[in-house]
Amino acid sequence: MSKHVEIKKITVNHIKRMKNNEKIACLTAYDYSSAKLLDESGIDLILVGDSLGMVMNGYESTIPVTVDEIIYHTKSVKRAVKRAFLVADMPFGSYQVSDEQAIINAVRIIKESGAEAIKLEGGKEIAPLIKKLSTMGINVMGHIGLMPQQVLAHGGYKIQGRDNDEKLLEDAFAIEEAGAFSIVLEGVIAEVSKKITESIKIPTIGIGAGVNCDGQILVFQDIFGIFDDFTPKFVKQYARVGNVIREATKNYMSDVKVSIFPEEKHSFLR
């Protein structure tokens, strides 16, 4: 007899309990239709990431993304999500000025978007802020390793953990201690993320961080082959939806040009 119990709605407690029991499968989504497909497929967690700046808006980085944009996209995703746990990113500049500013923006995102948690990038320097948010009742997901919001300061996207593994471990401990329910490890050497995952009690969610994290996350447009301006090494394309769309567009165009579309069945007749 199967022991599998159907979960109606995944909560923060489910995500925490999945550590050491079941791998956590996460994806990003930014709109109603995509989120509905993921939720119906049984994905555990959906993140409305600030990666939307690149894959939805065509910016070169995540830096220009605003709180209003995160709220707008999260509201659309929220309308589709019945089961998955929903997390929204705090964009660059929305939590660095002061704790007061961070709390105002986090509360706005939670109240206006319907997200069940927020994610913010940073190590032990933001642990006091994570503690304040957690104490207020806001679920916080940490994000360490390669932090895309630091791209200007770091002069590019650099894999982490080659020479700063101790610092990453200290960051992870500080974020856990502050009350975060989970931590994203992005672009981290696989051995280092394994060590972090084994050392802390909250789940780690990896992206470019090897197989030993407690869960994995990928960007919607990357995994489905929709955004192919570039494909990072850590991405596995599970479909080539971009090619399907290009092909279908050409078929539609040629049908329109020679009046094959619309047919009678697509038309309103007297």
Q: How far is the CB of 37 from ligand KIV (least distance, A)?
A: 17
Pull the structure tokens for residue 57: 């808006």
Q: Tokens 């539609």 — which residue?
A: 252
Q: Indicate the residue among 46 and 102 with the shorter CB distance to ligand KIV.
A: 46
- Binding residue count for ligand KIV, defined by CB under 6 A: 11
**Which residue, 122, 71, 132, 73, is CA-closest to 101?**
132
Mask of contacts with ligand KIV, 97-116, x by CB under 6 A? Answer: --------------------
From 43-51, 80-88, 104-112, 224-232, span contacting ligand KIV (CB under 6 A) = 43-51
Query: Scanning residues 190 to 229, which ones bind ligand KIV (CB under 6 A)?
Result: 207, 217, 219
Q: Where are the beta strands (DSSP E) in 83-134?
A: 85-89, 117-121
CB neighbour list of residue 156: distance below 8 Å, 6 or more residues apart:
none
Judge whether 186 counts as a catalytic residue.
yes
In the complex, residue closest to ligand KIV by CB: 49
Distances (CA, A) of 57 to 60, 69, 155, 229: 9, 10, 22, 13
Instruction: Assess 84 for contact with ligand KIV (CB under 6 A).
Output: no
From 48-56, 91-99, 130-138, 169-177, span contacting ligand KIV (CB under 6 A) = 48-56
Count each helix (H run) and each strand (E run) in the chain, helices first.
11, 8
Judge contact between 177 and 152, C-beta under 8 A: no
CB neighbour list of residue 185: distance below 8 Å, 6 or more residues apart:
144, 145, 168, 193, 196, 197, 204, 205, 206, 207, 209, 213
Pull the structure tokens for residue 182: 């989970």
Q: Indicate the residue among 49 and 83 with the shorter CB distance to ligand KIV.
A: 49
Please tell me the distance from the alpha carbon of residue 12 to that of residue 10, in angstroms, as a whole number: 7
- Choosing from 186, 191, 198, 247, the catalytic residue is 186
**Which residue, 95, 216, 210, is CA-closest to 159?**
210
Q: Indicate the residue among 68 and 263 with the shorter CB distance to ligand KIV.
A: 68
From 44-52, 66-74, 107-115, 165-173, span contacting ligand KIV (CB under 6 A) = 44-52
Instruction: Assess 50 for contact with ligand KIV (CB under 6 A).
Output: yes
From 16-24, 46-54, 127-135, 191-199, span contacting ligand KIV (CB under 6 A) = 46-54
Instruction: Assess 184 for contact with ligand KIV (CB under 6 A).
Output: yes
Q: How far is the CB of 220 from ligand KIV (least distance, A)?
A: 9
**Which residue, 6, 1, 4, is CA-closest to 82?**
6
Instruction: Assess 88 for contact with ligand KIV (CB under 6 A).
Output: no
Instruction: Assess 51 for contact with ligand KIV (CB under 6 A).
Output: yes
Q: Which of the residues are catalytic? A: 186
Chain positions contacting ligand KIV, by CB under 6 A: 28, 47, 49-51, 89, 184, 186, 207, 217, 219
